[in-house]
Structure 1
Amino acid sequence: MKKIVITQSNYIPWKGYFDAIALSDEFVIYDDMQFTKRDWRNRNIIKTSNGNKWLTIPVEVKGKYFQKINETKISDKKWNIDHWNSIKANYSKSKNFIDFKDFFEELYLNSTSLYLTEINFRFISSICEILKIESNIKFSSEFKLKEERSERLADICLNLNGTDYYSGPAAKSYMNEQVFIEAGIKVHYFDYSGYPEYQQLHGKFEHYVSVLDLIFCEGKNAVNFFKFSV
Structure 2
Amino acid sequence: MTTVVILQSNYIPWRGYFDLIRRADHFVLYDTVQFTKNDWRNRNRIVGPSGPQWLTVPVSTSGQFGQTIEETAASDPRWTRRHANALQSALGRAPRYGSFGPFLADRFAQAATLTRISAINRLFIEGVMSLLGLRTRLHDARDIPASGDRSGRLLSICRELGATRYLSGPAARDYLDTAAFTAAGIEVDWMTYPAYPPYRQMDGGYQAGVSILDTLASLKPDEVFG
Same fold? TM cut 0.5: yes
Query: Counterpart in 2 of 1:76?
Result: 76
Does the CA-based 8 Å contact 1:4-1:164 persist in structure 2?
Answer: yes
AA of the residue aligned to 1:69: I
Shift of 1:22: 0.9
Count of matched residue positions in the alignment of Structure 1 and Structure 2: 225
Shift of 1:2: 0.5
Shift of 1:78: 0.3
Does the CA-based 8 Å contact 1:19-1:226 persist in structure 2?
Answer: yes
- TM-score (normalised: structure 1): 0.94
Report the secondary structure of 1:71's partner residue: coil
Shift of 1:102: 1.9
Query: Counterpart in 2 of 1:19?
Result: 19
Does the CA-based 8 Å contact 2:42-2:117 persist in structure 1?
Answer: yes
Does the CA-based 8 Å contact 1:15-1:210 persist in structure 2?
Answer: yes
AA of the residue aligned to 1:132: G
Distance 1:98 1:64 in 2: 40
Distance 1:194 1:100 in 2: 25
Does the CA-based 8 Å contact 2:51-2:202 persist in structure 1?
Answer: no
Does the CA-based 8 Å contact 1:198-1:225 persist in structure 2?
Answer: no
Shift of 1:149: 1.1
Shift of 1:196: 2.0
Shift of 1:48: 1.6
Shift of 1:99: 1.5
- TM-score (normalised: structure 2): 0.95
Does the CA-based 8 Å contact 2:29-2:138 persist in structure 1?
Answer: yes
Distance 1:196 1:185 in 2: 32
Does the CA-based 8 Å contact 1:13-1:210 persist in structure 2?
Answer: yes
Tell which deviates more after alignment, 130-139 or 60-69: 60-69
| 1:77-107 Cα shifts (integer Å, max 9, x gaps) | 0000000100000111111111111221221
Query: Counterpart in 2 of 1:225?
Result: 224
Q: RMSD in angstroms over aligned alpha carbons?
A: 1.3
Report the secondary structure of 2:52's partner residue: strand
Does the CA-based 8 Å contact 1:169-1:191 persist in structure 2?
Answer: yes
Query: Counterpart in 2 of 1:195?
Result: 196
AA of the residue aligned to 2:221: A
Query: Counterpart in 1 of 2:100?
Result: 100
| 1:169-206 Cα shifts (integer Å, max 9, x gaps) | 11112222122112111111111132222333213211
Does the CA-based 8 Å contact 1:33-1:68 persist in structure 2?
Answer: yes
Report the secondary structure of 2:6's partner residue: strand
AA of the residue aligned to 1:135: T
Query: Counterpart in 1 of 2:148?
Result: 147
The answer for unaligned runs of 5 or more in structure 1 is none
Report the secondary structure of 1:181's partner residue: helix
Distance 1:64 1:189 in 2: 34
Does the CA-based 8 Å contact 1:143-1:156 persist in structure 2?
Answer: yes
Distance 2:62 2:26 in 1: 32
Report the secondary structure of 1:205's partner residue: coil
Query: Counterpart in 1 of 2:53?
Result: 53
Report the secondary structure of 1:188's partner residue: strand
Query: Counterpart in 1 of 2:43?
Result: 43
Report the secondary structure of 1:38's partner residue: coil
Identity fraction in percent: 38
Shift of 1:64: 6.0
Does the CA-based 8 Å contact 2:145-2:160 persist in structure 1?
Answer: no
